[in-house]
Structure 1
Amino acid sequence: MTTKTRVGLIYGGKSGEHEVSLQTAFAVSKALDYSKYEIIPFYITKQGEWNKGTPLLSAPQSATALAYEQSSSGRAMTAIFSGLQTEEKAQISGLPTVTSQQASGDALDVIFPLLHGTFGEDGTIQGLLEMANIPYVGAGVLASAVGMDKVFMKKAFAAEGLPQCVYRHFTRTQWEKSQHDLIMEMEISLGYPCFVKPANLGSSVGISKASNRDELVKAVAYALRFDRKVIVEENIDAREIEVAVLGNDEPQASVPGEIVSSSDYYDYKAKYVDGTSTMIIPAEIPAELAAELREMAIRAFQAVDCSGLSRVDFFVRKEDQAVMLNEINTMPGFTPFSMYPLLWKETGKPYTELLNDLIGLAIERHAAKQQIQYTMDE
């Protein structure tokens, strides 16, 4: 009898993207091969409680079925770490050693973090799993943190020489002290309309389009509900093209796909609610432009030291076909409306195979890190 790989799914979380994470977990749990994997769900509530569900024997009926409500934070955390800290791993991570008897029953082979936004996609859960020395799918601490913070992400892209739109950023304190000066600077450098975003959030949560000064002030106030730092970007008359990246040290890029939004711009509702935005896969663009986008997507992936997966988003200006890098998403959604798996499907990699590859990449990356020496030889 073949032993199944034990995969822990972590989802939900204290984030504005909690519901998106639930949808992602639902889609992934439906697509995983239950003859190959034993799936153990770990649901984090909006209040931060960790609730462990029973191992899934088949795909759940709905996303809400994955929202376990029992208060079992301690037991859920124990279930993740108990049995994983062998003596060798404990020496690396500094966590307590457990006995071999404890390690025999509940050990997970890999964690699949399906958390979007704050406390999940920003390096925090990745740091926890690094300390525990557990293999996990996706980007590491650095790439996750940089990819989540739009300001530092743009600085990393600028250092790589990747073209981007004009933007300005500021903190809540700076806004409160120098609102007039910041407004004047944005009106001069960006003009109207412009887009106002929380610096540390995804899925278009907290984003507004401002067409005048009053709307700008309201948009900043709205964005500050979700983060202490705000980024404001110029409006570009452009097509929105996205490329999926998969791999570790030798990443590959998918065919490009285009988003034609049902709204004025690709907002939360267009992404996750009405489902009426059009995805054109592959994008109807010249072969030379497609090659440029794929090459630039890999450069962006490597600029933040990413691993596993990411979706890289671009603007292609309609006036002159100039390419500008918008952002990288280190944990793109896997919902029925999501671009990432659809891009790989068109490239020749179906959903189940894609998930198999991601789990394999996680284990490969973890094995490579075990070669690192953390102490000096005397």
Structure 2
Amino acid sequence: MSMCFRQAARRTLLCTASAGSSSSTKQAIKFGTHHVHNNLAAASTTILQREFSAAAKKKQANNGNNNNKAKELTYQERKEAEKKLRRETYEQKQTRLERLKTRRDHSPKDVKRTLFRSWWDKEMMYHNKLQRMAKKEGKPWRVRVAVMVERLPVVTPDEEEWEQDYNDLRDFLETFGKEYPAETGFMFAPDKSEDHVVESDEDMIAGLPFTPAPRETEADASGDVKTLDRQLKTRLYLTIKSDTEGNLSGPRWTLPSTIAETNESLLAAAERAVSDSVGSDLKLWCPSNAPMALNMRVYNDKLPESFRENYFGEKIFYYRVQYDNTGGDVDEAAMKADDYAWLTREEVVDRIEEERGKHQAKFFHYML
């Protein structure tokens, strides 16, 4: 309300001054107390309209001129004018973006995303090509189900050096507590140096009534890969050495897999793949009925005809299932695979790369 009244009073003053009332203009206008002289208030019925700014006047004049010129221009001239306006708008936008650059614009961005897309786009083009080739030859695809049996981390991973420094500083600052003004009487006695001593991890472990289990096990020291009691800080995957995929080079490291039978669900085929490979003693939990990944494999002409039959190749559906810590392990007596190992993602990728090359290894790197 105060701003509206001031504007009205200012306009009234202009009206009165333009009317030649010099005595009225000499009267004081008290804006702070919202009082105006009676002579000025009487003239408030003729309030001047607010003038436009210079920029608004110029824009209005230009619009009027442009409208008049637009009526005189031909269709082709109007198209050229609109094209010129769009180009000028684009150049202004690019100039603004160039002006808004900061020191971080020269740092690499989306490095991992770009690296993944460079592989993913080529992979999708190759898969689409295989689909067209199979359709052209009129051959169906065979469905294979592979299983990623995953053991989750047992202990928390090691902290980085900066994380340890941050936690130590936070624990030290928390020893001071909250501070209140002295007059409130909430503050305790003056702090002492011993009040701000943070207990180290070693001291805390020494004060426990039991001895914690080591984070590094004997299997890590000996290199035993056939036990779940290794690499407790990361995930492990059940990997087998088998020739069930019909490869010409003999048994190779891969995931448990099997050909899906008629009227058998993919999840049921995944469960059967694990039991056929390493026995049925493993306790597993599947978080979803849907597969996690899909890959395609074209049958080589060198493969036996009894294995290829009339199929163009295989569509391999990968399921992720988790090992249940309630018990169970690989039953070596009932195992049909030649060998097995519980490996980390890096170890699986290294073995795949050694046997099949970098392309297949990259697929397992992104899938696992």
Length-normalised TM-score, structure 2 = 0.21
- Structure holding more strand per residue: 1
Larger radius of gyration: 2
TM-score by length of structure 1 reads 0.21
Give 1 or 2: higher helix fraction: 2
